Structure 1
């Protein structure tokens, strides 16, 4: 009996831990209003990824020419502006960073990002890109509110500027306290806060596209399938009524 109770308690504790870990980040996620029909946004997102992310993160399940075609980028223009190490248009989007070296430099190899939007979700990515802040205790001098103790530098800092946690004096339980209200840039970035938010939305949009490039085509075909099923159902009902008319 004691063994059974002990095993039950251990199982319950394991399930509680798993549920806690699966619950996601403890900070609210901002809504990412992505639009896979917006080719300009997808093109800007691709440019951001190739310039700021590809140095460490690969996209080994996506090909350059497929990206160019889907995003309506002329192949010559794409090769000139989005391919930097002599790859062919038909090559997969990979980088030259050795896995062992990445592990030594960052503590772990940088993950492939082809499917990251399907794993994390668009809202998580959009909030993550905008949640870096200065933390001198970390190896790269930054941390992330959505992904605590993140093991990567803030590679987009030149666009955003130096982000810091901000606090305000607010009345809490009858006392004035410093309350965390968000992350704010010092204004030294290339982009304004609104422009940076839009850039991160473009990057998120691109990552959602690469996670499932056929999504729009699937939705388009889905309407045809739905229409076929609807018409078939009506015809089947009419045929059934005709067959059973004499049995009444």
Structure 2
């Protein structure tokens, strides 16, 4: 039995160098850390407004009802006035305004429901994705994305971010000028390692970005995307904060009540022996 295990491990060690190029070729873009905080109510309110204004025209959130936004401190009147554009009742789900068949014709695929997208993709993926669109004339919409190559979705926030261009350079290149994001990829070609530097360059500033002295300032836009990502994460589990609060209460109950009781019970059982 031991000899069989040794042979299997030896075979795996021989196959590992062959698998390395495939893993390198399929490596995804490095993701930026999302500053999400579902306890920041003001950020969630701003994110909800962005979601209603920019996302609900194509994407729905059928597992989320408008009246659940009251958990964010919004009144029914505020929800009706500022966030409801495709529904009449506050108790209705956040349905998409566009017909599914139209979305398939326009974008090649029906835009997905975003109720649980944060739980499937993750906050870092969403945060990086919304900041990684670039101009690509070869695509039907004129846009592509470094995180989701050949994506069918256009850059709905382009007026806020402006225009970005993707540059792929040989070797390791230091980021200079209006570079928004920069990362390196490694490929193995004919047994040799090839390093490439990918740079997203801001070519035209938007409403929330600036080009100053040849450098890009995307601070305001990044904050907007952080708010939107934060809301989408919260929407995936609106009861998260309450659940965690109850969990902490249960732990405190166990520590301060059950533990002393268990200790006293143990002393009572073993009193005659000790």
Normalised by the shorter chain, which TM-score bucket? 0.7 to 0.9
Shift of 1:180: 3.3
Under a length normalisation based on structure 1, what TM-score does the superposition of the two structures give? Answer: 0.83
Shift of 1:247: 2.3
2:170–2:197 CA contact under 8 A, matched in 1: no
Shift of 1:166: 4.1
Q: Aligned partners of 2:135, 2:97: CA distance in 1, in Å?
A: 29
Q: Aligned partners of 1:100, 1:113: CA distance in 2, in Å?
A: 18
2:171–2:197 CA contact under 8 A, matched in 1: no
Alignment partner of 2:47 out of 45, 48, 64: 45
Q: What is aligned with 1:183? A: 200
Q: Aligned partners of 1:47, 1:124: CA distance in 2, in Å?
A: 21
Q: From the superposition, tell whether residues 25 and 194 of structure 1 become closer, same or farther in structure 2 (CA, over 3 Å).
A: farther
User: Structure 1: where are the runs of 5+ without partners?
Assistant: 1-11
Shift of 1:171: 6.2
Q: Aligned partners of 2:86, 2:236: CA distance in 1, in Å?
A: 24
Structure having the larger proportion of residues in strand? 2
Corresponding position: 1:85 with 2:110: no
Q: What is aligned with 2:240? A: 215
Q: Aligned partners of 1:179, 1:162: CA distance in 2, in Å?
A: 23
Q: Aligned partners of 1:171, 1:206: CA distance in 2, in Å?
A: 36
Q: Aligned partners of 2:166, 2:129: CA distance in 1, in Å?
A: 14
2:86–2:95 CA contact under 8 A, matched in 1: no
Corresponding position: 1:100 with 2:125: no
Q: Aligned partners of 2:168, 2:28: CA distance in 1, in Å?
A: 18
| Match runs of 1:149-164 below 5 Å | 149-164=150-165
Q: Structure 1 stretch 146-155 or stretch 70-79: which is displaced more?
A: 70-79
Q: From the superposition, tell whether residues 187 and 234 of structure 1 become closer, same or farther in structure 2 (CA, over 3 Å).
A: farther
Paired residues in the alignment total 224
In angstroms, what is the RMSD of aligned CA positions?
2.4
Under a length normalisation based on structure 2, what TM-score does the superposition of the two structures give? Answer: 0.76
Shift of 1:25: 6.0
Q: From the superposition, tell whether residues 86 and 242 of structure 1 become closer, same or farther in structure 2 (CA, over 3 Å).
A: closer
Q: Aligned partners of 2:115, 2:27: CA distance in 1, in Å?
A: 21
Shift of 1:37: 1.5
1:65-100 per-residue CA deviation (whole Å, 9 max, x = no partner) reads 111x11111221221111113421111100232212
Q: What is aligned with 1:27? A: 29
Q: Aligned partners of 2:171, 2:109: CA distance in 1, in Å?
A: 40
Corresponding residue SS for 2:81? helix
| Match runs of 1:113-192 below 5 Å | 113-166=114-167, 180-192=197-209
1:171-196 per-residue CA deviation (whole Å, 9 max, x = no partner) reads 67xxxx99534313234311121111
Q: From the superposition, tell whether residues 124 and 171 of structure 1 become closer, same or farther in structure 2 (CA, over 3 Å).
A: closer
Q: What is aligned with 2:269? A: 243
1:135–1:142 CA contact under 8 A, matched in 2: yes
Corresponding residue SS for 2:154? coil
Q: What is aligned with 1:8? A: none
